[in-house]
Structure 1
């Protein structure tokens, strides 16, 4: 699976809203759903390949979704992409699969969607694992972050996104240590770039969710790298002060991808939380 930077293709769900969603379905046991972040060439496998396969070995059934607009899922260019649309597509995918309850892992955009899903479907989502989720700070604060500005520059240039450009973006924007921006990761992302349109990034609308956090009914485990260049630090306190049943882990020498830069720690803490 996923050899040499080639993404594995799994299953497809035909949702009630007419969109087709791609997902990997691996293992048996309690269900853990993985929701990836945004960015050029994003997909569930490239975000979580060091995490979900390990959890499968610990006795979990892992559903790794490609969000609408990303991976092998549909990429509609005639609808906007507010948070409610992402949540709807995830919920309808889980309906097709037949999932009645699950834990949800969400990184960045996927974290905001995980929160949205848990608020809308409290009986479905039993636990949340959040990695620097979106929606924790006002929009203007995101626009001051160097990694976010780099992403906007790459998208807005109109130039083709080459392997070199992508590697530089990941090294600077997503990671504290650039060694994690591997050729394999770049190859996986370029594979999706060939079939991706920019409409999802241009029409994405994630509201400020902090005031909604007290409504969460489930336990939450959150991770946040202290060397973030994408998410404002205000999001740390936004999460910490508004989630009632929260364990939060701040990770030094870590950028936006805790699950990649501190894979073993993330896996171990997640397993303890899930079990």
Structure 2
């Protein structure tokens, strides 16, 4: 496959980063405005490739360069089905999957609905259980395009606000409005937003039935997804381990990149 590539997944042209060789790892990004697979995983993919893995990282429906028809209805079912179809197209018969935030809810559905295809599961500040809407998540999902508004969103993601520069805010703003991305984003999680959290939650019995070894990661200072969600997942998933990073917000893969990459590659183990 060329890198990067646009693949027809059903009737939808899907932007996919597919790099490296070896045991595959499917990377599912979060739901911030202007996000893409490349932006979300830019510090993660090199470490996985160096460790001998193939990484497959799609722009999920409505994000990045995966643009659905204007009448597309965004919901957990369509996002999950799209990922399964992507796995079929890219030959991922069995894979590890890493889900960041919103991507964690999709990763959980894959582990619940297709246990034979998920080798290991990694959840990072994951949506997927019920919790009260936080001010941070309300800020993210309620984003309306602007430099000040984007800076507010980015600062909600990190513990160290010094990481958020004007250049970064302008770059992410540009990504958030490219090709009508802001209009697509506004259609995903309109008010009242608590319903979207609830709609992406899996049932407790489903979580207890997950068989994949699971690594759960969270930043202690996360203002977007409360750490209690990861504690709940840890309590319910049988073969799970939980790691909390101190002085870290929602972007564990950015704020604690080296530590996160070491933890991730250790958990995944040497490629077979």
Shorter-normalised TM-score: what interval? 0.7 to 0.9
DSSP 3-state at the match of 1:61: strand
Query: Which moved further from structure 2: 46-55 or 188-197?
Result: 188-197
Is 2:25–2:53's contact at 8 Å kept on the other side of the alignment? yes
TM-score, normalised on structure 1? 0.87
Distance 2:214 2:250 in 1: 18
Query: Which moved further from structure 2: 162-171 or 90-99?
Result: 162-171
Distance 1:210 1:191 in 2: 35
- Structure 2 gaps of 5+ residues are none
CA-to-partner distance for each residue in 1:111-133, whole Å, 9 max, x for gaps? 10011111111111110111011
CA 185–269 in structure 1, closer or farther in 2 if over 3 Å, else same: farther
Counterparts of residues 175-190 of structure 1 (less than 5 Å): 175-182=158-165, 183-184=167-168, 186-188=170-172, 190=174
Counterpart in the other structure of 1:271: 265
TM-score, normalised on structure 2? 0.88
Counterpart in the other structure of 2:81: 88
CA-to-partner distance for each residue in 1:48-96, whole Å, 9 max, x for gaps? 1001112111111111111101011123331322211111001111111
Distance 1:102 1:236 in 2: 22
Q: Do structure 1's residue 256 and structure 2's residue 245 form an aligned pair?
A: no
Counterparts of residues 67-106 of structure 1 (less than 5 Å): 67-106=60-99
Q: Do structure 1's residue 218 and structure 2's residue 212 form an aligned pair?
A: yes
In the TM superposition, residue 24 of structure 1 has moved relative to its aligned partner by 0.4
Counterparts of residues 116-155 of structure 1 (less than 5 Å): 116-138=109-131, 141-142=132-133, 145-155=134-144
Which of the numbers 10, 34, 44 marks the counterpart of 2:37? 44
Cα root mean square deviation, aligned? 2.1
Which of the numbers 105, 108, 117 marks the counterpart of 1:115? 108
In the TM superposition, residue 181 of structure 1 has moved relative to its aligned partner by 2.6
CA 202–153 in structure 1, closer or farther in 2 if over 3 Å, else same: closer
Distance 1:70 1:208 in 2: 21
DSSP 3-state at the match of 1:115: helix
Counterpart in the other structure of 1:55: 48
Distance 1:246 1:185 in 2: 36
Distance 2:136 2:212 in 1: 31
Counterpart in the other structure of 1:194: 178
- Structure 1 gaps of 5+ residues are 1-8, 156-160
